[in-house]
Structure 1
Amino acid sequence: MPDDPQETDVPHGVMASTKWERFRELHAQGLGRNAISREMGICNAVVSRTAEHLELTFDRSRIEAATAARLADLAERRSILAEQLTSDAERLRRKLWEPTFVYAFGGAQNVFTKELVDEPPPADKRSLMSTVGIAVDKSLKLAPTETGSSGADDAKSMLGKLAQGIAELAAQDDVPESGDE
């Protein structure tokens, strides 16, 4: 087979042989498939088929490095998001024990009232605890803790405490509050 494939041997979907010289120049400059495609105004698939026909290959080391860099960037972003979710969980958990306003509409006149209470009612606490649990769970999925013998035990302990807290709040919610009718 000659160095330059014959025009008659050109398969369907390969650029015209009049463009091969420019194609080879760009390839020799180290341009990748996408860059050659943009430079020559030809779709990526035609560039790939032409390279295969001309027995040219593209250096993938830059693509691998770019992919590794992108994966590292994504890992960093997940880590930051995990930190933010953990901060959110901590902030929400503190709200369990802080004074808050309770709002209501009621009475024959459907009057709006609000009252400052020492801490949220049990139903609101349960909702906050569920939200805290979700934030912690999602943060752990984004940035798992280091594997170790104590890590699993710590997680089990934390989950056990969360379950116990939710159960206590559910039990409190079943007790009628004074003034309820």
Structure 2
Amino acid sequence: MASPEPGETGGELVPLNPRLGGNRPVTPRAEAVIVLAEQGFGRNEIARRSGIPKASVSAIADAYGISFDRTQTKEALKARLTQLREAEMNVARGLLEDIIEARIRLRMTTTDRDFAFQSKALGDLTQAYQRMVPEWSSADTDEDAKSMLGDLMVGIKAFSKEQRAMEAAEARGEEMPDWWHERKNRYKTPEEIQNDEAH
């Protein structure tokens, strides 16, 4: 039986590692360690993500000349924290949009019951938003706060302008899109909807 060619083991192809000279076959476990280490993950995180024991991660790293540079790991951690912060802020922006709509719904309520439900929803959304958005620290500038409030005001004004335009068009007897009726009917009782349809 002929000996396997480089890159083969027992008839099964195994990719070579060109990053480390290309002369050593790479097992799937070693490849997982190499890829995660290149992404800046530390030894413990690689073990957690790949399910490979820490001792094996260390042995594979030593065999392939991988060192776990703390500065590289810190940079990767900072990048991941930045990504998480951005994701949190996107969720917070969504909650802010929901708060704006909840305030408008609260103003459109016609019954005490609806007012109570909308007040509860608005309170819950506001609390969720406050938990998502970190408190302003002394390092944060006033400009950041002004920018957020400015964005909120622009959003409220745009929504209010659209609302007034749609109400004016409806008052003129223009054909309204289905979403308009669905949005208005969302806050009405079934009896109110039947009364509107009867007129």
* TM-score tier (shorter): 0.3 to 0.5
TM-score (norm 2): 0.39
Higher strand proportion, which one?
1
Larger Rg: 1
Which has the bigger relative contact order, CA under 8 A and spacing at least 6? 1
TM-score (norm 1): 0.43
